Amino acid sequence: MDTKKYKSEISDDKKEEVIKDFLPFIKYNAYRLSHRLPPQLTIDDLISVGVIGLLDSLDNYEPARAKLKTYAEFRIKGAMLDEIRAFDTSSRSLKEKVNELKDACVKLEKELCRPPDGEEVAKSLNMSLDDYFKILKDADSVITLRFDDFGPSASGGNEMNLLENIPDETSRDPLRRLLDASQKDILAGLIASLPDKEKMVLSLYYWNELTMKEIGKVLSLSEGRVCQLHSQAILRLKGKLKSGVEF
């Protein structure tokens, strides 16, 4: 079934019904990304972008290639990240500072035989603790992906269909499963080496899917402190993966 044929089969009433079905998912993801919002955007803006992403997915959906739910969720998240990135003011100097923090964390951990705390990292780089946490906060928006990144320019000038790059969850590729299992084991080992509070934040955020505010209530911490711990944990992991540190 081609795209045009599918478009003609969706009535306005049906689209409205689909939007209602996906609205909880859209709101949930908007709130999960709220800590990465630049000053120019609000959660309501992100929700609106998510709805537009959903409508766009309906216009471009090809039933023969993927389930609507899988494709729509992929496009909704992508649209939100695209919007955040559009307002991203991250400069090259910020990215250089982020890399400096990663390298400092790895170097100090080797010297101290334990994960360094924020004060130790800041001191090693001759910066204040406030500047350290500011870089951590800004670092959350440095690495994002746009749908444009998967276009012809990213594939050597060849056309690339995003639907063809959405994994088929029902497929059973032994090599892929083996590689995934190996990567998960490596990541699990690196996470296990993090300080307890950082491990807890990652677990509650990614496994239990709590918001930063909810995690703060569980751990009796401010939402800002939870965001700092999350950013610090991600920074450590990226630094270790980049350098190939053993755990």
| Interval 104-132: pLDDT, tens | 888 888 888 888 888 888 898 898 888 88
Last residue of a domain, one of 44, 59, 88: 88
- 126 and 35 co-located in one domain: no
What is the extent of the structural domain holding 11? 3-88
What pLDDT is attached to residue 8? 43
Tell me if 103 is assigned to some domain: yes
Token pair listed for 101: 């923090």
Residue 36 and residue 141 in contact, taking contact as beta carbons nearer than 8 Å = yes
* Helix, coil or strand: residue 199: helix
- 38 and 109 co-located in one domain: no
d(CA 78, CA 141): 14
Q: Is 22 exposed, middle or buried (0-12, 13-18, 19+ CB in 10 A)?
A: buried
Residues in the chain: 247
Token pair listed for 148: 């444009």
Token pair listed for 240: 């270790």
* Helix, coil or strand: residue 116: coil
Tell me if 68 is assigned to some domain: yes
User: Residue type for 68, please?
Assistant: L
Which CATH number does the domain housing residue 136 bear? 1.20.140
Tell me if 153 is assigned to some domain: no
The domain total for the chain is 2
- 20 and 79 co-located in one domain: yes
Tell me if 208 is assigned to some domain: yes
- 72 and 117 co-located in one domain: no
What pLDDT is attached to residue 176? 56
- 239 and 140 co-located in one domain: yes
- 80 and 190 co-located in one domain: no
Q: How far is CA 236 from CA 82, 87, 209, 222, 233, in A?
A: 25, 26, 21, 21, 5
What pLDDT is attached to residue 26? 92
What pLDDT is attached to residue 143? 47
Point out the residues of the chain with pLDDT beneath 50. Answer: 1-8, 143-156, 246-247
- 104 and 201 co-located in one domain: yes
Which CATH number does the domain housing residue 46 bear? 1.10.1740.10
Tell me if 168 is assigned to some domain: no
Last residue of a domain, one of 88, 114, 136: 88
What pLDDT is attached to residue 177? 57
- 122 and 22 co-located in one domain: no
d(CA 75, CA 85): 15
- 84 and 96 co-located in one domain: no
Dihedrals phi, psi of 241, to nearest 5 degrees: -65, -40
- 130 and 61 co-located in one domain: no
d(CA 47, CA 24): 10
- 196 and 238 co-located in one domain: yes
pTM surpassing 0.75? Answer: no
Last residue of a domain, one of 88, 108, 137: 88
Tell me if 122 is assigned to some domain: yes
- 224 and 111 co-located in one domain: yes
Long-range contacts of 112-116 (CB under 8 A, 24+ apart): 115/193, 115/194, 115/195, 115/198, 115/236
